[in-house]
Structure 1
Amino acid sequence: MTPVFGRIPAATPISLAMAYEYAFVHLAYTIPLAGVLTVILWPLLTRLDLYKTSALILIAFFATLPWDSYLIRHGVWTYPPDAILGPRLFGIPAEELFFFIIQTYITTLLYILLNKPILHAQFLTNHDEISSQVRRIRSLGQLLLSLAILAGAILVAQGGKGTYLGLILIWAGPFTLLTWTLSGYFLLRLPFTCIAMPIFLPTIYLWVVDELSLGRGTWAIESGTKLGWCLWGDLELEEAVFFLATNALIVFGLVAFDRGMAVLDIFPEMFPGGPGNMSLARLVKAILTDPGNYDMKWIRGIREAVITLKRKSRSFYLASAVFPGRLRIDLVLLYSFCRVADDLVDDSPSGAKALEWIQKLTEYLDRAYGTTGKQSYPSADVTRYVEKNFPIVTRSALELLPTELLPKKPLSDLLEGFKMDLGFTHAEFPIEDEACLQTYAQRVASTVGELCLWLVFHHTSKRLPAEEELRLMQAAITMGHALQYINIARDIQVDAEMGRVYLPTNWLSEEGLKPQDILKSPNLSKVEVLRQRLLDLAFREYDKSRPTMNLLPDEIRGPLIVAVESYMEIGRVLREKSGVPSKTKKGRATVPKPRRLWVAWKNLLVS
């Protein structure tokens, strides 16, 4: 374990104060940092995060215990009685045992925080996708780690000043080599900062803590087992290597864990026990599964869905980070389908072509759900139809839509909403009154809310009573109205540039306006009056449906509330600024990022 705390101190009188020196390090440096990270991350932690953290702490504790005990019993370092409180386990002071736990906890929380937005399933790969450069990097890592282990063995065999460094290398090296071998390709595909920062930030912090402690003369390493080289000041080389090695070990272990969970999430049918059954045996089996058995069609489809959402629905992609495993994947696939279908229609060069895409999407749904009229279609036929009729970049969004978990009607209604979008011409505006507005919102937004709930009901571990599910479904429909009204209020200018006016025509008449007036001047002062009226309607719908969301299962309630509140915050910004947003992007109001983070954290905390 940490050489910081395995010292013979400089000659000082034994005192009660000195007996608390090691404990003081925890009170002053490790516990406060752990506390800050806990407060920041607590609302975001899922059951899986807690399971992962607990597992890593137990592994780190019991892997370090015999090594640390060996060092003490063989006199590599000692703990003077005037620096510790006294209780020991296998010769290891209680403060040292606590360090096994607190360092792992800090590094794990930082890793979880930085990786929370990442959908790890997209980074799985098989051998066919791996470039020669990546293969060389992995092989080089294996070679360097093997040489480090060999060097450690030589140093220990020689004894003397290289003993401590050698013991670090032969203890940490095999664990690191194992995790690198199992998950190196996966690790190399992850964003660099998501790996580097959880390793180097805690390492540098502990280097500084160690340097401060040594500078005060609180402890000193046994001179007979160290090389005597300092990284800077009083920071010994061995200490620097130790902190770097242990934090790398923790992060590599977390990467292996996430890789295993990603495999379980995408391919639950490969592992007995069911998708909701979390066990160490299933996780280990997933980690050891040959990548050649991966269905890369699924993985590539998830990658394409993530790219689509990052480009078109980044807010939803980030909000999805707090949903558990397979539910998040299915939600991403659902939203990807909705975005792709919407883009096919909206980006069409003509109304006729847009209607053609709607017809093809309708035919796709008929085939995907097993019937067109009286004829049944197997899944192979669905694939052939998609390949024949849709662009390559859209195919995975259609083929991977989890139709087996979703009813057909909301998807068909969504297409009807797209048809309403096509009803806009310079002479015709289909949103005649508030009833038309609600119909439109129900088709393009409430349907998505219904579909999301179907996925939630399927993936949650506890099934709700039928009456509560029905209430939640109605609340999803009403909340869909609210969210779409917010969307319309935000995008009046953008929609006008597309020749569309979603403000009810009878509302416009009350203000002495026509839809054509909005097309010419979407920023008229009277438009602002109508924007606020629409926002009032949105918040009335929100107020009717929001309390019902408290019926949602515990593990889903917070994430869904965050998704809703993040969007409603756009409406609050529009209200506060009387329609003049704090920031705009292509004419659309946006919520400042710090405020979005605060909304998410606050609602997760109280949910």
Structure 2
Amino acid sequence: MGTEYALVHLKFTIPPAVLLTLLYRPLFTRLDVYKVVFLTTIAVLSTIPWDSYLIRTRIWSYPSHVIIGPKLFDIPLEEVFFFIVQTYNTSLLYLILSKPTFQPVYLRVERSKGHRLGACNTQWRRYKLLGQLALAQVILFGWKLVRAGGSGTYTGLILVWAVPFLLLLWSLAYQFLLGLPLTNTVLPIALPTLYLWLVDTLALKRGTWVINQGTKYGRHLWDGLDIEEALFFLLTNTLIVFGQVAFDNALAVLYTFPRSFPDPPVLPSPALLVHALLFPASAYDPERIRGLQEAVVRLKKKSRSFYLASSTFQGQIRTDLLLLYSFCRIADDLVDNATSGTEASMWISRMHGFLKLAYGKDKSTSTIESYVRHNFPEDAHSALLQLPVAKVSRKPLEDLLQGFETDLAFAKRSTNSPIPTEAHLQQYAQCVAGTVAHMCLELIFYDYQSSMSYEHQQRVLDAGDRMGIALQYVNIARDIAVDAKIGRVYLPVVWMKEEGLTYDSVVQNPHGKEVETLRSRLLQKAFELYKGAKDAIEELPVEASGPLRVAVESYMEIGRVLSQEGYVVKAGRATVPKWRRLAVAWRTLNRT
């Protein structure tokens, strides 16, 4: 009896587990726990028979003086714990590194040439087949080594045990394995593999475990590390990451194609996950994928703060929020980029027409698609057609368009401003931002099937409206100079009069002590609304409350920067450095 193997865990495997847990703890959701537990269970159950066989046939062994004593099917409990902790550590590293990636955009439609729905794409099938053939050859090679016995036995046993699982996972998730960024696939394999190679080198040199002579080649990757052990850790970490990728591939299918998988649960059953993985790529909806891809591009380009916040959401809600943002962004751009007030009014009218069809009692998908394709530019089609109308109400969208009409009033004004008083400013902010916050909450209540009473939900929705107004106030305070360049001043006229300013004087010179006084006044109003509404966030499901706090705090940080002396301005706007946005996100998520 000894503690040598247990000390390996105390020194080398448990500390990374603790560190990774602390790092990822603010982002841990029920779905993450489900994924890790699910994969760990499979890893332990699939490894025990193989490891037990290797010990009973004396391929490797554990001296009695290095283990505590208790065993499971001849496997020391320290070794069983290693199966668990390795899977846990590699899984957490994968979750951390893949968090920023919106994975559904890596789905690819595969249709043969001449398919009636077009979108011919056969290259992915070729990649799948080539991978399957290569892995099958490796399995055959491993089997030959086992049959031959001798020095290749251990290598053969590793290959015939691990590679069939890799073949299965490749066959199910090859699109993601090929398409995802290397930070999602190669890096979470390479880092723990290198680390475990170093740990294994120390353990082998100390005799913590022993590979018996006669069943190994006797060659080393470096001094003290047998090539068989190097291969073992490389393949096991590859299995873990492949398993996580396959799980995420299944989730991406579930959350991307609502017509095939309507309202999937937050924690899908294993049977549903398998069903999603077996769902043919030829049946993927290319318009849906394109809509998500275009939404991600818009988000990255137009709102860095919201893009950062969106990465903390997970699953269906992240998809729905991206699509909602895409619609709002396109609608805003159509109006702002119009060459005349008449054209802008036309776009608003057409969007009203779209909403009438989308929410009508006799709505027809073909009628809606025809209307969009005949009345809007091509780059706007996906944003309108993929709007999750079944999950958000019509009124906030109509109010959003009303806010755009206020923007148009600036171009039409002669002497009167569309924002004469603070009440008008609040109404405008409610239309263009409170509505967006309202719809975000509607999506959360829908996707997480809230058990709140109707009255309770309304109180939270009202708080969301106020928070949206607060964020818009920050936006206006930031963009005073930018708006002045296009002849707009969103500051109430009565406020400007109190400072001896006029609408035209601010347009001509949006700087100076008086303007800064008004900026501070607007920011004060924003933070008053923010403080009165932020507690409502905590009443949301935990999967949404943390990410929503990040979205709010990331934007309010702009207000804090504006409140400081000597804030930095880029292209007329105060900006928050990336390191500071990340710090805000981290601090916010760790708040209890």
TM-score by length of 1: 0.92
Task: Answer whether contact 2:396 2:436 (CA < 8 A) is retained.
Answer: yes
Task: Answer whether contact 1:432 1:504 (CA < 8 A) is retained.
Answer: yes
Equivalences for residues 78-477 of structure 1 within 5 A = 78-128=61-111, 131=121, 133-216=123-206, 218-267=208-257, 270=260, 275-276=265-266, 278-370=268-360, 377-425=363-411, 427-428=414-415, 429-477=417-465
Gaps of at least 5 residues in structure 1 are 1-15
The change in CA–CA distance for 1:152 and 1:212 in structure 2 (over 3 A counts) is same
How far has the Cα of 1:102 moved from its partner? 0.5
Out of 546, 549, 565, the residue aligned to residue 578 of structure 1 is 565
CA RMSD, Structure 1 to Structure 2 (Å): 2.1
How far has the Cα of 1:107 moved from its partner? 0.7
Aligned AA for 2:298? T
* Equivalent residues, number: 583
State the match for 1:596 in structure 2: 581
Task: Answer whether contact 2:62 2:210 (CA < 8 A) is retained.
Answer: no
How far has the Cα of 1:109 moved from its partner? 0.6
State the match for 1:43 in structure 2: 26
Deviations 1:505-526 (A, max 9, x none): 2222222222333333333233
Out of 555, 577, 595, the residue aligned to residue 543 of structure 2 is 555
How far has the Cα of 1:313 moved from its partner? 2.4
State the match for 1:520 in structure 2: 508
My pick for the range that moved more, 168-177 or 495-504, is 495-504
Task: Answer whether contact 1:46 1:322 (CA < 8 A) is retained.
Answer: no
- Supply the distance in 2 between the matched residues of 1:44 and 1:555 (Cα, whole angstroms): 8
Out of 493, 510, 520, the residue aligned to residue 505 of structure 1 is 493
State the match for 2:114 in structure 1: none
My pick for the range that moved more, 500-509 or 327-336, is 500-509
- Supply the distance in 1 between the matched residues of 2:554 and 2:346 (Cα, whole angstroms): 35
Deviations 1:293-312 (A, max 9, x none): 22222222222222221221
My pick for the range that moved more, 32-41 or 297-306, is 297-306
- Supply the distance in 1 between the matched residues of 2:558 and 2:15 (Cα, whole angstroms): 35
Task: Answer whether contact 1:155 1:165 (CA < 8 A) is retained.
Answer: yes
Are 1:68 and 2:22 matched, yes or no? no
Deviations 1:127-166 (A, max 9, x none): 1267555444433322221121111111111111111111
Are 1:605 and 2:584 matched, yes or no? no
Task: Answer whether contact 1:44 1:601 (CA < 8 A) is retained.
Answer: no
Aligned AA for 2:567? V
Task: Answer whether contact 1:265 1:275 (CA < 8 A) is retained.
Answer: no
Aligned AA for 1:602? R
Fraction of identical pairs, as percent:
53
Task: Answer whether contact 1:528 1:579 (CA < 8 A) is retained.
Answer: no
Deviations 1:241-286 (A, max 9, x none): 1111111111111111111112222335545995456211111111
State the match for 2:116 in structure 1: none
State the match for 1:542 in structure 2: 530
- Supply the distance in 2 between the matched residues of 1:289 and 1:132 (Cα, whole angstroms): 17
My pick for the range that moved more, 413-422 or 453-462, is 453-462
TM-score by length of 2: 0.94
**2:574 partner SS:** strand
Task: Answer whether contact 2:255 2:261 (CA < 8 A) is retained.
Answer: no
Aligned AA for 1:380? S
How far has the Cα of 1:114 moved from its partner? 1.4
Aligned AA for 1:378? S
- Supply the distance in 1 between the matched residues of 2:202 and 2:149 (Cα, whole angstroms): 29
Deviations 1:212-250 (A, max 9, x none): 334556554322221122112222211111111111111
My pick for the range that moved more, 104-113 or 286-295, is 286-295
- Supply the distance in 2 between the matched residues of 1:578 and 1:275 (Cα, whole angstroms): 49
- Supply the distance in 2 between the matched residues of 1:400 and 1:369 (Cα, whole angstroms): 14
Deviations 1:86-143 (A, max 9, x none): 1111111111101100010011111111112222222222212675554444333222
